[in-house]
Amino acid sequence: MVAFGSGERKAVYSAIYARRDIRRFRDEPVPEAVLERVLDAAHHAPSVGFSQPWDFVVIEDDGTKAAVAGIAERAIAAAHEGYREPRKAAFGALKLEGITDAPVNICVTCDPTRDAPHVLGRNTMQEMDVYSTCLAVQNLWLAARAEGVGVGWVSFLYPHELRNVLEIPHHIRPVAYLCVGYPEDGFPDEPVLQQEGWRDRLDRDELVHDGRWEPAKTPDGDTRSERETDS
């Protein structure tokens, strides 16, 4: 294919803009064929030296989900303790995972030894393997959106505990823990964190630099990093 037609182009942007992090799921299974398409999209992500460092652990067992949810519960409680009011109350009101609600969980891992010791392009930036794995996650997330399936990324986890539950070998790195299923309330127009008043989307113009990196001025004359330090 040489070029996308206008409908195809529109569909790509629609998936990007309409993708959301989903934390509430309907009790409805994701058909095997849909799951396979989404996983195949993930597997077609770009990767450093075409190393394809990812694996996907697909979890449908309630006992396993409950064990992971227990880890998340403690990690969220620990994070909660670290906030001061009024942020603490706002944090406490957020739903930050849907592990047991989601019919499917997927743990995406990264194998730094795949194709090693010489992975083309990883000589000076070892972490390229993790970046590649994150691109697989993004492919999965966008394909899922196109299928009407919601995905929620849970980062409130202790990786060594997750490793134990899922029997992930020591040299393999768990990168993403994803809750996957049909959203209970559809796909919101804005990120839930924005809806809840936690944080707004930044102004893109402040983030695009001309020729060299320099802090952008806000309309008040502050740099963005000064403004964030003050708040």
Sign (positive or negative) of CA dihedral 79, 21, 169, 47:
negative
In the numeric block, the tokens 């058909």 are attached to 31
Is the CB of 143 or the CB of 154 nearer to ligand FMN? Answer: 154
* Single residue of 35, 96, 107, 178 touching ligand FMN by CB under 6 A: 96
Is the CB of 107 or the CB of 154 nearer to ligand FMN? Answer: 154
- Write the binding mask 23 to 52 for ligand FMN: x where contact by CB under 6 A, - elsewhere: x-----------------------------
Phi/psi of residue 196, nearest 5 degrees: -85, 0
Contact 162, 74 (CB under 8 A): no
21 part of the interface to ligand FMN, by CB under 6 A: yes
Pairing of strands 150-154, 54-59: unpaired
* Single residue of 14, 113, 155, 164 touching ligand FMN by CB under 6 A: 155
Residue nearest to ligand FMN (CB): 191
* Single residue of 26, 43, 130, 153 touching ligand FMN by CB under 6 A: 153
Is the CB of 49 or the CB of 53 nearer to ligand FMN? Answer: 53
Q: Which residues contact 47 (CB under 8 A, 6 or more apart)?
A: 53, 54, 129, 132, 135, 136
154 part of the interface to ligand FMN, by CB under 6 A: yes
Paired residues of 108 in beta bridges: 56, 176
193 part of the interface to ligand FMN, by CB under 6 A: yes
Which residues are at the interface with ligand FMN (CB under 6 A)? Answer: 20-21, 23, 96-97, 153-156, 191, 193
